[in-house]
Amino acid sequence: MSRRANLPTKTKNTMKTPSLLTLLVLLSCLLAPVRADEARKPNFIIVYTDNLGYGDIEPFGSEVHRTPNLNRMAKEGRKFTHFCVTAGVCTPSRASIMTGCYSQRVRMHDNPRDGWVLRPVSPYGLHPDEVTVAEVLQDAGYATGMIGKWHLGDQPEFLPNQQGFDYFFGIPYSDDMTQEAGRRAAERQKSNPRAPDLGGLAWPPLPLMENETVIEAPVDRDGLTKRYTEKALEWIEENRDRPFFLYFPQAMPGSTSQPFSSPEFRGKSANGPWGDSIEELDWSQGQLLDKLVELGIAENTLVIWTSDNGAPINPKPGDLSRGSNQPLHGRGYTTAEGAFRVPTLVWWPGTVPAGTECAELCTTMDLLPTFAALAGGEIPSDRTIDGKDIRPLLVGEEGAESPYEAFFYYDGPQLQAVRSGRWKLFVPLETWRNHPHFTRQGEAGGGKPLLFDVVADIASEHDVAAEHPEVVERLMRYAERAREDLGDMDREGSGQRAIGEVENPTPRVLSAAR
């Protein structure tokens, strides 16, 4: 491994001699009668869909996709309307949910070969010395399983089993990164020197893996949602008698213009393949919730449904064939609200108040510290963790507010926007990457500050920078703080850690023995 500078190594807690008071407390706990359900730590399930838009499901306003099971989840749980990811695209978003950090901090936002999304046979991945939410819970006595899309490095050092997961079933990167897609990418590289450098390596047939072994290649992409669901239900049943954490990153609706779905769902929605895939995702969620009820562990299981970023959307008005982020502004892959703010439902019968809504800003980075607090685990104390403990928001504590003074919107290495409370500021830029307000505002590169009240003006239609110069000034100070800590374009941040890197990467392929 290289690029280890500024990265603390993982350490286990060392044993300390207990004090007399500690021994007395332990003895009293052993003698006191404790009911089994009181002593049991909560289970955690994260369902992380791929490119699902804010307006793609009925609880968030969809009138074209039928999602009865998500309606049930909202009715029995809590809807979060200002829940954000930390990137408008796959790899950096997934790095944040795993580490509780901005992807810029762990350098999973951009790399010299792949750009901002890892491609097959990349030498890069999430550094093994980073501490993931799976490792935090594993150390707290949890069974840890991952079923679905990883996309944080396909080399053996970076795979889920090396990052805290006891079990992995899924694909190591996006389902659209097929052998044929690799051939097309190589052709683009020949004709376009600005295209990502693929290192001359061909992409293998799309591999389905169980733990560290490729068990099928190429995998049938049509059946991924169904197979993932069946495997998830099986894994939950196997681990029902101990605390567990299931990370369930679904493949759909995904990055392709024609999402995949099982034959039972194909052609059944009112919105073509995109709608078919979402309605199958809804079916999958119903299967999961029903299994928890059937096993009698629903009241001890916190389930979170969300997305890795917003939908790519079709620019043609009224065309929902590539998803909807309505009523938010912008598409996925940018720093618009439609890319960062994602539909999020939280379900924990008896603990999360049913039929409620939270409009406070919180993020996927918060899940690591929140789960650690609920599980009695420990978050690393030798490094910065950007996420916050949001238990008060989960349980609807009266007066609970967002723990964020400022939240930062990066497009790869470029800081483009800052949010604080109701205000979101797009900072002035001389050059830009994917600036979401360039077309509408007509400002070359977003060359002036743009300020929006994203609470009152949900579609970000009214620039109010001129009316609130003091807000602009305050948020610009936050922006400078982020640049110093997390970097900006070619500027190094003092708080950035190392990306993982290996020499001579190899493709994940079926072994000759199979």
DSSP assignment of 409-441: EEETTEEEEEEETTEEEEPP-SS-SS-TTHHHH
CB 246 within 8 A of CB 235: yes
Name, in order, each residue with C-beta under 8 angstroms of 266's C-beta and a sequence gap of 6 or more: 222, 273, 276
For residue 423, count other CB atoms closer than 10 A to its CB: 20
pLDDT in the model for residue 99: 98
DSSP tag of 54: T
Query: Is residue 22 pLDDT above 60, yes or no?
Result: no
Pairing of strands 423-426, 167-171: unpaired
Residues serving a catalytic function are 90, 151
Cα distances from 404 to residues 296, 313, 323, 388, 389, in angstroms, run: 36, 29, 29, 8, 11
256 vs 270, which has greater pLDDT? 270
Count of beta carbons in the 10 Å neighbourhood of residue 115 = 17
Average pLDDT over residues 306-331: 95
Q: Which is more confidently placed, 288 or 200? A: 288
Three-class secondary structure of residue 406 per DSSP: coil
Mean pLDDT of the region 268-296: 98
Cβ partners under 8 Å of residue 256, min gap 6: 175, 176
Strand order of the β-sheet with 414-420 is 407-411, 414-420, 423-426, 450-453
In the 3-class helix/strand/coil scheme, how is 313-354 assigned residue by residue?
A: CCCCCCCCCCCCCCCCCCCCCCCCHHHHECCEEEECCCCCCC
Mean pLDDT of 93-103: 98
Q: Is the peptide bond before 380 cis (omega within 30 degrees of 0)?
A: no
What confidence category does residue 25 fall into, taking pLDDT thresholds of 50, 70 and 90?
very low
| pLDDT score of 18 | 43
Average pLDDT over residues 46-73: 98
Determine which helix (DSSP H) or strand (DSSP E) holds 244, and give its type and residue range.
strand 244-253
Residue 114 has pLDDT above 50, yes or no: yes
Q: Stretch 83-95: mean pLDDT, rounded?
A: 97
Report whether 227 contacts 211 (CB < 8 A). no
Give the pLDDT confidence of 153-183 residue by residue, as tens digits: 999 999 999 999 999 999 999 999 999 988 8
C-alpha 201, offset from chain centre: 28
C-beta of residue 357 within 8 angstroms of C-beta of residue 337? no
pLDDT band at 30 (very low <50, low <70, confident <90, very high): very low
64: confidence class by pLDDT, cuts 50, 70, 90: very high
The residues near 169 (Cβ < 8 Å, ≥ 6 apart) are 146, 147, 208, 209, 210, 211, 228, 231, 235
> Which pairing describes strands 244-253 and 414-420: parallel, antiparallel, or unpaired?
unpaired
Residue 85 has pLDDT above 50, yes or no: yes
C-alpha dihedral sign at 294, 298, 302, 304:
positive
**With 70 as the cut, is the pLDDT of residue 73 above it?**
yes
Q: Which residue has the tokens 């960062």?
A: 340
Query: Cα 55 from chain centroid?
Result: 18
Distance CA 118, CA 135 (A): 22
Domains and CATH numbers, the chain: 41-394 (3.40.720.10), 407-500 (3.30.1120.10)
Distance CA 38, CA 320 (A): 46
The band of 5, judged by pLDDT with boundaries at 50, 70 and 90, is very low
pTM for this predicted structure: 0.91
- Number of Cβ within 10 Å of residue 391's Cβ equals 16
Cα 8 from chain centroid?
23
Mean pLDDT of the chain: 90
Kindly indicate the confidence band of residue 38, based on its pLDDT and cuts at 50, 70 and 90. Answer: very low
> Which of 21-35, 72-86, 333-347 is predicted with the least confidence, judged by mean pLDDT?
21-35
- The CA distance from 514 to 255, in Å, is 30
The predicted pLDDT at position 196 comes to 59
128: which residues sit within 8 A by CB, 6+ positions away? 1, 10, 157, 158, 162, 163, 500
The conformational region for residue 420 under phi > 0 = left, psi -120 to 50 = alpha, else beta, is beta
Q: What φ, ψ does residue 410 adopt, rounded to 5°?
A: -105, 145
Per-residue pLDDT of 421-480, as tens digits, reads 999 999 998 776 666 655 444 344 457 899 999 999 999 999 999 999 999 999 999 999
Q: Tell me the average pLDDT across 270-288.
A: 98
Query: Does the pLDDT at position 35 exceed 80?
Result: no
